[in-house]
Amino acid sequence: MQIYTPDEIASMLKISKNTVYEMIKRGDLAAFKVGNKMRIEENEFERYKASMSANPIKTQESKAAPQHSLQLAGSHDFLVEQLVKYIASEGTGLSITPSYIGSLEGLMMLYRGSADIAAVHLLDPASQQYNLPFIRQLFVHEPISVMRLASRDQGLIVAKGNPKNITSVKDLARSDVTIINRQKGAGTRFLLDSFLASEQLEPAAVKGYENEEWTHLGAGAHISRGTADAAFGIRCAASQLGLDFIPLTKEQFDLVFRWTPGNKEALQHLTDLIQLTNFKDSIVDFDGYDAEEFGKIIYGNHLSEA
């Protein structure tokens, strides 16, 4: 799948880059951040062009700006991308600006008050629990709630046909295998490190361990191009890129809401949209997700004064 920069979008639409950023800010065009750079997926660009063709007289001024804007930081996930697009396209009065910077940094941004929502999947090695051990330690006094989005299949993404015959994490230490890793602070990297530790393998024994990508698709693209033999990632990325997948575990992917007087109305609206609309139906389009607990509040300490 092609991913565009705002400059590329501006060139294709023959408009200024500033106009593209305004479209993103208004929610007309869904975008995500890789580090501090904005990116737009090809299918989102095609959706935008189709909507413009269907409504040729629509102007920037005629579209009401979203009433509330929420900042989301944390892990990259296809369901989060889908949620951002759904919110932008359904006239919900909300917009979500995502920044895919990894689970740990997402939680820290939420803790510092720089985000309203964190998207996380962090395994605590001691308890073998996801997310809640970290959340309980960080958010002692801050009003928060934790919503289960889905469980995901995590494992090894390898080339079609698995030409290197990679079957387990142990194979990552072979001299003929090179991996592509996720960035420091990513939940997927935490999980890989946990598997390496259980096999008593040092990161230095894994060729390519220091090479980083920021998204599952970015990591999978290295496999497609042949610049790496394996990546730890989710089944959905392998499916979208036509690669093979070796399942190793199921993990829990959650959204953490930090409630403030300024965002309380918007977060409640978002909760209703997730729990009460047909958004859940979109999950069936993504391989490797279990939505049995979709939308369930699994932890909360947010109080009426939030």
Residue with tokens 């497609």: 224
Which band of pLDDT confidence, cut at 50, 70 and 90, is reported for residue 279? Answer: confident
Q: Give yes or no for residue 300 having a pLDDT over 60.
A: yes
CA distance 65 to 56: 18
Secondary structure class of 151 (helix, strand, coil): strand
Task: Break the chain down into helix, strand, coil percent, rounded to 5.
Answer: 40, 25, 35
pLDDT bin (cut points 50, 70, 90) of residue 36 is low
Check: CB of residue 192 under 8 Å from CB of residue 103. no
Q: Which residues of 27-44 are buried (b: 16+ CB within 10 A; e: fewer)?
A: bbbbbbbbeeebbbbeeb
- Name the residue among 299, 255, 296, 293 with its Cα closest to residue 84: 255
Query: What pLDDT band is residue 278 in, cutting at 50, 70 and 90?
Result: confident
211 or 27, which is more confident? 211
State yes or no: pLDDT of 65 exceeds 60. no
Instruction: Name the residue with higher pLDDT: 109 or 59.
Output: 109
Give the CATH number of domain 120-306. 3.40.190.10
Residue 103: half-sphere exposure toward Cβ, Cα within 13 Å:
22
Cβ proximity of 72 and 31 under 8 Å: no
pLDDT reported for residue 67: 66
Say which amino acid occupies 272: D
Beta pairing, strands 230-234 & 144-158: antiparallel
Give 27-30 contacts, CB < 8 A, sequence gap 24+: 27/65, 27/66, 27/87, 27/88, 27/94, 27/95, 28/63, 28/88, 29/88, 30/81, 30/84, 30/85, 30/88, 30/89
| pLDDT for the residue 160 | 98
In this model, does residue 221 exceed pLDDT 70?
Answer: yes
For residue range 23-34, what is the model confidence (pLDDT) as tens digits? 887 778 888 888
* Band (16; pLDDT cuts 50, 70, 90): confident
- Tokens standing for residue 82: 């889908």
Global pTM reads 0.78
Q: Residues 94-118: what's their mean pLDDT?
A: 95
> Is the Cα torsion angle 238, 242, 243, 249 positive or negative in sign?
positive
Q: What is the DSSP string of 82-146?
A: HHHHHHHHTT-SEEEEEEE--HHHHHHHHHTTS-SEEEE--EETTTTEESHHHHHHH-SSS-EEE
How much is the pLDDT for 57? 41
DSSP for residue 1: -
Q: Is 295's pLDDT higher than 60?
A: yes
CB neighbourhood size of 228 (10 A)? 24
At 248-270, the pLDDT tens digits run 999 999 999 999 999 999 999 99
C-alpha distances out from residue 195 to 98, 147, 169, 180, 219, Å? 29, 26, 7, 16, 18
Alpha-carbon distance 266 to 236, whole Å? 30
Q: What integer best gives the mean pLDDT of the chain?
A: 89
Q: What is the pLDDT of residue 168?
A: 97
pLDDT tens string 112-144: 999 999 999 999 989 999 999 999 999 999 999
